């Protein structure tokens, strides 16, 4: 095909613009079909070791042609056979004439299809996990830096008691640490489909080995080990249970929810912005961080995968599995890029605090007046009236909060005027936020990152 012809058909922007080369390759045809050939080689090796009439020359022939796939021939074979696995069996056999009789011996199409999917899912998690760890590391550093910088807290989108910038970052981090545990668990829970046959009963292999159940079990174990899995599923139909896909993509959907929460919209409220090399880059960074959403395909597929297999999962799994991982990949790359250069504006934060803190400090003012000999009920009424007047200036006139000026002008508060600066010191309103940040980072975040320490220095250069 002429290279220009590539631009005559739709190309997924997830691959052409966003996802990393590693993740794009993980879901590529090259990875898929070379993995099929690896699996045929594993099967032949295991069958040979257990006594089937397969020669070393046949295996060496297969190994020597594992990567030289004639994609044009495979496409032509598929047009004739209407079956992708058999098309590639024929294509592999064409360059391995000696091994042709034993390629795919005893197997069904899901031997290569499903086992490859499980390998790709595992490898996809292995790409995502270090990226997520780096995001957590960068945000942990950010939280540590701003652990004691007061900022407005919000409940129901309304200004509430002060928190700190670092403490709010820890709220994001807490969700992200749950996500990394979820992804790691989903990855570690993956098993191999193994060598199970047409309906999962291993009947074809039992026949090959003359009814020797031990050899059939050993065949399953050997191939599983060659594919670097600890275990295979003990029972399958023709396919592994599609609940496995649900489990994997649910962890990505949960990550998507977290990233949506850690969004540009939230940053506006804490007076910070993502890094911007120039306006175009900034716009792209904000746009491309829309969260991935898990479509209902995996759940629907799992629920209607009746009996030993139906064929309704073939098309949508080609889309839902790949695109979920590809989207999660660019999200994490972008989030790392942003978290490495977050810019905080303390003066803007200070101005926002000044606008709201007098309202929050009224109880402290009342307590100071009482300590100075005043009556709580009288003081409460004075504060209530002045607060309503100041609120009217803010809400009806668009002015600044002048409650403090009103308090300073009222002779009733003369005994405590010298204490007002101390009463209104923002750091007296942040509670144990700095201590919570320190403990959370040391006990829960940093230990979680240890397995990824060797991959922590990777920088992300976005090519959007």
The question of whether 284 is a catalytic residue gets the answer yes
Sign of CA dihedral 312, 315, 321, 327: negative
Question: What is the rounded distance in angstroms from the CA atom of residue 361 to the CA atom of residue 90?
Answer: 79
Q: Which whole-number Å values give the CA distances from 141 to 166, 261, 279, 346, in the listed order?
A: 9, 19, 26, 17
Question: What is the rounded distance in angstroms from the CA atom of residue 150 to the CA atom of residue 136?
Answer: 22
What DSSP designation does 397 have?
S
Nearest to 145 by CA among 11, 337, 298, 346: 346
The question of whether 90 is a catalytic residue gets the answer no
Task: Say which of 109, 241, 250, 284 is annotated catalytic.
Answer: 284
Nearest to 352 by CA among 401, 390, 388: 401
Can you state the angle between helices 314-339 and 109-145, rounded to 10 degrees?
A: 20
Q: How many CB atoms lie within 10 A of CB 403?
A: 24
Burial of 441 (0-12, 13-18, 19+ CB in 10 A): buried
**Contact between 423 and 368 (Cβ < 8 Å):** yes
Nearest to 39 by CA among 225, 237, 199, 223: 223
Q: How many CB atoms lie within 10 A of CB 176?
A: 25
What DSSP designation does 163 have?
E
Question: What is the rounded distance in angstroms from the CA atom of residue 151 to the CA atom of residue 153?
Answer: 6
What DSSP designation does 152 have?
E
Tokens of 87: 């098309």
Task: Say which of 156, 278, 279, 454 is annotated catalytic.
Answer: 156
Tokens of 437: 């940040």
Interior angle at CA 127, CA 125 and CA 130, nearest 5: 100
Catalytic residue ranges: 156, 284
């Amino acid at each position: 095909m002429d290279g220009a012809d590539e631009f005559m058909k739709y190309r997924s922007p997830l691959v052409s613009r966003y996802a990393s080369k590693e993740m794009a390759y993980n879901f590529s045809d090259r990875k898929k079909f070379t993995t099929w050939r690896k699996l045929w080689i594993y099967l032949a090796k295991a069958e040979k070791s257990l006594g089937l009439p397969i020669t070393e020359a046949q295996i060496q022939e297969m190994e020597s042609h594992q990567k030289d796939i004639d994609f044009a021939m495979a496409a032509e074979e598929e047009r004739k056979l209407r079956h992708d696995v058999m098309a590639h069996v024929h294509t592999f056999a064409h360059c391995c004439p000696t091994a042709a009789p034993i390629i795919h011996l005893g197997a069904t199409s899901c031997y290569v299809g499903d086992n490859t999917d499980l390998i790709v899912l595992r490898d996809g998690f292995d790409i995502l996990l270090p990226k997520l760890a780096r995001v957590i590391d960068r945000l942990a550093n950010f939280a540590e830096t701003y652990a004691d910088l007061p900022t407005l807290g919000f409940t129901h989108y309304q200004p509430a008691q002060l928190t700190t910038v670092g403490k709010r970052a820890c709220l994001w981090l807490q969700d992200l640490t749950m996500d990394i545990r979820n992804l790691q668990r989903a990855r570690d829970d993956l098993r191999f489909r193994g060598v199970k046959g047409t309906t999962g009963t291993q009947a074809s292999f039992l026949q090959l080995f003359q009814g020797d159940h031990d050899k059939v079990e050993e065949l399953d174990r050997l191939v599983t080990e060659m594919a670097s899995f600890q275990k295979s599923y003990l029972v399958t139909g023709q396919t592994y249970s599609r609940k496995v896909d649900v489990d994997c993509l649910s962890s990505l959907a949960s990550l998507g929810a977290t990233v949506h929460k850690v969004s540009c919209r939230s940053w506006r409220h804490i007076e910070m912005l993502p890094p911007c090399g120039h306006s175009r880059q900034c716009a792209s960074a904000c746009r491309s961080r829309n969260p991935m959403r898990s479509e209902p395909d995996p759940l629907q597929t799992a629920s209607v995968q009746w009996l030993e297999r139906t064929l309704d999962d073939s098309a949508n799994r080609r889309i839902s599995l790949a695109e979920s991982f590809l989207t999660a990949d660019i999200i994490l790359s972008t989030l790392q890029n942003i978290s490495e250069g977050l810019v905080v504006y303390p003066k803007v934060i200070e101005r926002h605090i000044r606008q709201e803190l007098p309202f929050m400090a009224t109880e402290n003012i009342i307590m100071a007046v009482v300590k100075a000999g005043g009556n709580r009920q009288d003081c409460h009424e004075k504060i209530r009236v002045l607060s309503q007047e100041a609120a009217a200036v803010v809400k009806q006139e668009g002015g600044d909060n002048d409650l403090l000026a009103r308090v300073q002008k009222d002779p009733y508060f003369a005994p405590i005027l010298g204490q007002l600066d101390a009463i209104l010191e923002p750091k007296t309103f942040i509670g144990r936020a700095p201590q919570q940040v320190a403990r959370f980072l040391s006990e829960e975040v940093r230990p979680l990152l240890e397995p990824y320490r060797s991959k922590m220095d990777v920088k992300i250069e976005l090519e959007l």
